[in-house]
């Protein structure tokens, strides 16, 4: 089965968040920086970040950036 790039990026960003590489309240790189890191378009990064936002892992503040939610929601395989 083919995996969309945005899914791979969202999974990697979630791993970074859950491992504490980007702590709660920490700021993610901007779309252009993430696009350079993952070598994809800004639209692909935007879709990955939207997925994280929909799952409550990040919040995007207009003209300020995207920040890791504090507190983080539990991981899907972690009992609440």
60/69 Cα distance (integer angstroms): 10
**CATH class in words for 5-67:** mainly alpha
Q: What is the pLDDT of residue 1?
A: 80
How far out from the chain centre does Cα 12 lie?
8
pLDDT in tens, 5-21: 999 999 999 999 999 99
pLDDT, greater one: 3 or 47 = 47
- Cross-strand partners of 59: 67
More confident residue, 78 or 17: 17
Residue 28: Cβ-neighbour burial (10 angstroms; 0-12, 13-18, 19+): buried
Beta carbons within 10 angstroms of residue 26's beta carbon: 15
Average pLDDT, integer, range 19-28: 97
Instruction: Confirm whether pTM is higher than 0.85.
Output: yes
Going from N- to C-terminal start, the domains of the chain cover 5-67
Q: Is the pLDDT of residue 34 over 80?
A: yes
The count of residues in the chain is: 80
Query: What percent of the chain lies above the pLDDT cut of 90?
Result: 88
Tokens 């089965």: give the residue: 1
């Amino acid at each position: 089965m083919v995996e969309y790039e945005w899914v791979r990026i969202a999974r990697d960003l979630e791993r970074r968040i859950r491992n504490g590489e980007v702590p709660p309240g920490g700021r993610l790189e901007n779309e252009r920086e993430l696009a350079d890191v993952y070598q994809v378009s800004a639209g692909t990064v935007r879709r990955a970040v939207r997925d994280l936002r929909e799952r409550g892992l990040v919040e995007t503040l207009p003209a300020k950036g995207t920040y890791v939610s504090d507190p983080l929601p539990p991981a899907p395989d972690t009992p609440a």
